[in-house]
Amino acid sequence: MHEPAVGVPGRPPSRPVEAVLFDFHGTLAQVEDAVRWVTQGAASCGVDLDRGRATVLADRLLTAGRAGGPLPARVPPQLAEVWAERDLYPHAHRAAYTGLAATVDSGVDGLAEALYERLLVADGWLPYADTAATLRTLHAAGVPVAVVSNIGFDIRPHFAAWGLADLVDAWALSYEVGRCKPDPAIFHRACGMLRVDPERTLMVGDTPADAGAVRAGCAALVLPAAEAGRANGLAAVLDLATGGPAS
């Protein structure tokens, strides 16, 4: 039995890769710019924010805690329970992040809910520059793909809006599976959906939680952080899974 390996760009795993699991946030897509997030959220509440005010509000909201952004500096005691369960139940996810946003006095009625709604639409996210090409190349090569994400809402509509839904064969979303990364169970579920052996599967992500796939028997490739909309090194997956770069 081969030992699971953590892959690095340019160094292929010691066994064939027959399927690829991808994390969502920070790997395939990134949330929109924080100032745009606040400006668009306020606009949906009927308030036109100038860039200076939006920038100040964005900084305060990021400190409070944004889904897809940095972890909150502090979770208020009244939100501790929903925070702990945010990736297991949609109601907890919404309550956690609207609750954190509501701790910031924005002066805009309804802003906390409006900001959360930005998560639920494709316009509130930006795929990385190499996401589409990577998924298309894997699909053309017959390599099955699953998205494995700690998340409290359905991201399938986002991929449909980006024209990428047909390139994903399975979805292992924590709120549906009932397990969160790095629990091996969520990776096992994804492999089961694809009908592949974990030892012939590569997990691609950007955090230690994604590298937890090693405990499930998968190989893992952890990518560096990248700004929204830019290439983030996904092309390395193609060398590992198909033997060549994207066309």
Alpha-carbon gap, residue 14 to 200, rounded angstroms = 10
Query: In degrees to the nearest 10, what's the CA dihedral of 77, 81, 86, 90?
Result: -120
Q: Does the pLDDT of residue 2 top 70, yes or no?
A: no
Q: What is the 8-class DSSP label of residue 242?
A: T
pLDDT attached to residue 226: 67
pLDDT attached to residue 71: 87
pLDDT tens, residue by residue, 68-105: 888 898 999 999 999 999 999 999 999 999 999 999 99
Residues 208, 181 contacting (CB under 8 angstroms): no
Q: Does the pLDDT of residue 59 top 90, yes or no?
A: yes
Confidence of residue 4 (pLDDT cuts 50, 70, 90): very low
* Cα–Cα distances in angstroms (integers) from residue 83 to residues 48, 98, 135, 206, in the given order: 31, 11, 32, 21
Q: Does the pLDDT of residue 238 top 50, yes or no?
A: yes
Which residues make up the CATH 3.40.50.1000 domain(s) of the chain? 6-28+128-241
Mean pLDDT of the chain: 90
pTM, full prediction: 0.88
CATH number belonging to the domain at 6-28+128-241, selected among 3.30.420.140, 3.40.47.10, 3.40.50.1000, 3.50.50.60: 3.40.50.1000
pLDDT tens, residue by residue, 104-114: 999 999 999 99
User: DSSP per residue over 74-112, as a string?
Assistant: ---GGGHHHHHTTTT-HHHHHHHHHHHHHTS--S-TTHH
Contacts of 226 (CB under 8 A, 6+ apart): 30, 128, 232, 233
What angle is formed at CA 197 by the lines to CA 88 and CA 25, rounded to 5 degrees? 40
pLDDT attached to residue 1: 35
Segment 12-41 mean pLDDT: 89
Alpha helices in the chain (DSSP H): 34-44, 51-64, 80-84, 90-102, 111-119, 131-140, 156-161, 174-177, 184-194, 208-211, 235-241
Confidence of residue 243 (pLDDT cuts 50, 70, 90): low
pLDDT tens, residue by residue, 171-205: 999 999 999 999 999 999 999 999 999 999 999 99
Contacts of 70 (CB under 8 A, 6+ apart): 62
Alpha-carbon gap, residue 161 to 247, rounded angstroms = 23
pLDDT tens, residue by residue, 121-168: 999 999 999 999 999 999 999 999 999 999 999 999 999 999 999 999
- Residue 127 three-state SS: strand
pLDDT attached to residue 245: 52
pLDDT attached to residue 11: 44
Amino acid at position 218, single letter: C
